[in-house]
Structure 1
């Protein structure tokens, strides 16, 4: 059997992929451009892809293809319905990065809330060495204890964020982006009310017709000036032009983004040109990438291949 990983660099060079060699001939490519994908899948039985698009044309060019393994939870880059028509299995991996994303969420909170960039620079630039007292409190920060944490998108990650926020003494509330009624531990709020009362707002929702452009300038304007906004869901949920404007106007204390509408970021993105750079933290879509999460991801993909070869259903994606 032949297996190909089309964009192996997306899981990092520090992750051992030799586990796939036990299933047959394994080949990996750092990345695959659109014009390269057809040649690379034409002879293989199993394709592993993180972001490379496997659409109808690609599927038609892969005569031997039996299984598509998505190295992620989202499968929007796969034409699932056509794969089903062609009898090709599609699997994904869910839940592997929950702890990593939650940890990154709180890393962002502390960076912004505690003004860590400012204080680190204060010491390293030599200003602290000139101080006449042992401390420096000209840039005040806040405690999480007693604050209201509003979660947009209370899925697996959102619930875990809520649990950790509670351990810091926060009151947790949420807004449902799906509109589905569920019996949840936390109180459900309309979006506008959640934005008005929350000290921290974190987004852990998918991008769809209900969430696209969910937070605009007018919505951000409803938030407290001391509030922190975090997006660890998907780019496009927060309007980036509006966020840049809101930060420059000091409408909120700060924002942390791990996802952007266009990835990698466009050099003309207004977020790169804001005046108060200390109010914004952007990381390059890394919340999911702890070593533990990536190792678990690869192990789960291998288990999906093993189950498929044994004729078992495991993490199968169906319409």
Structure 2
């Protein structure tokens, strides 16, 4: 095998991660970003390719018979044609369990900001409203205690379990909802989605995006929630029908939502959820996974998978 590697979109991992150790394995070209029309030229002499979000489709795979290894620098694998890769004998790996702590704390950051209205109180302070208050405090926005409230987890993998454990530490009751298409959906511990949503104070999404879960949150499923409920999504944007969510928020059929993901990323500047400027909607830019420690674990795992592949002891393999 011609051992030459390439990283196509290193800047997507942040500027504070050192990738030079890959050069200890084989000669590597490291590009900060790669446009779709640049991929073919850049990978044509490489046997090893790493990509975070750059698409490696069937045509690119077929035109590059020298490819032996594609390392996806993420958990999701939809940017690589796995069927074409398998047909051509290419090993594809991905990264798992690197961002659990980072995503869990971000999830709770969104929840706590919403239920305590911290962001609105901060705005009130900056606007001078506290300074002119006749009392020592402001209590303009309702503050909700989490103790005894019900937290519905949709997707009870590693992330869902971590978020649930934190919820229990706040004294919340955790309910597990069935996920369409999941092998666990018929488990006795999982409630039907409608039954779980009807009891929910907070719903937190941690399930994968599949054909069965696309727009899992839609006008019908939102109608199962009480108006006091909050929706949190740190998983995938297309789990939510964004038009239905916007309508629910604007009509006060939902108390609020915290989103770290949208259906198209980066979103257009005029994305309806962004321009709506709703006081009960928090949106962060897909940064829940982005602690320095999590990103370093990602890179360390990617390097380990490549070394294992070269030693004929593959790990992290998806095909």
How far the C-alpha of 1:90 sits from its partner, in A, is 0.8
Structure 1 pair 313–168 and aligned structure 2 pair: CA distance change class (3 A) = same
Deviation at 1:64, TM superposition (A): 2.4
Q: Matches of 1:296 and 1:75 in 2, distance apart?
A: 18
1:122-143 deviation per Cα after TM superposition (whole angstroms, max 9, x unaligned): 1112221122321111212101
Relative distance call for 1:272 and 1:183 in structure 2 (3 A) is closer
Provide the rounded CA distance (Å) in 2 between the counterparts of 1:153 and 1:305. Answer: 29
The one-character-per-residue Cα deviations of 1:248-298 (angstroms, maximum 9, x if unpaired) are: 1111110011111111112342212336x2100111111111111100000
Q: 1:105 aligns with which of 107, 111, 135?
A: 107
SS in 2 for 1:130: coil
Structure 2 alignment gaps of length 5 or more? none
Alignment match of 1:95 (pick from 85, 94, 97) = 97
Tell me the TM-score normalized by structure 1: 0.95
Q: Secondary structure at the match of 2:21?
A: helix
Which residue number corresponds to residue 191 of structure 2? 189
- Comparing 235-244 with 131-140, which one deviates more in the overlay? 131-140
Count, aligned residues: 316
Question: Normalization by structure 2: what TM-score?
Answer: 0.95
The answer to whether the Cα contact below 8 Å between 2:178 and 2:185 also exists between their aligned partners in 1 is no
- Equivalence for 2:307: 306
2:157 to 151, 155, 158: 155
Query: Displacement, 1:227?
Result: 1.1
Deviations 1:86-130 (Å, cap 9, x if unpaired)? 222111111111111111100000111111111001111222112
Residue 55 (structure 1) shift: 1.6
8 Å contact from structure 1 (residues 146, 171) kept in 2: yes
What SS does structure 1 have at the residue aligned with 2:198?
helix
Structure 1, unmatched stretches of 5+, are none
Cα distance change of structure 1 residues 24 and 158 upon mapping to structure 2, 3 Å threshold: same
Distance in 1 (CA, whole Å) between partners of 2:21 and 2:186 is 41
- Structure 2 SS opposite 1:48: strand
1:44 is matched with: 46
Match of 1:69, SS state, is strand
1: distance between equivalents of 2:217 and 2:186?
A: 26
Correspondence for 1:251:
253
**Match in the other structure for 1:180:** 183
Q: Report SS of the residue matched to 1:128.
A: coil
1:119 matched residue in structure 2: 121
Is the Cα–Cα contact under 8 Å of residues 50 and 70 in structure 1 kept in the other structure? yes
Q: Deviation above 3 Å: which 4+ runs of structure 1?
A: 181-184
Q: Structure 2 CA distance, aligned partners of 1:172 and 1:187?
A: 11
Contact 1:80 1:90 (C-alpha < 8 Å) held by counterparts:
yes
Change (3 A) 1:219 1:90: same
CA-atom RMSD in angstroms: 1.6
- 1:203 to 2:226 alignment: no
Partner of 2:68: 66
In structure 1, distance between residues paired with 2:210 and 2:103: 20
Bigger drift between 58-67 and 231-240 goes to: 58-67
- 1:84 to partner: Cα distance: 2.1
Say if 2:178 and 2:186, in contact at 8 Å, map to a contact too: no
Taking the aligned partners of 2:244 and 2:295, their CA distance within structure 1 comes to 34
SS in structure 1 opposite 2:238?
coil
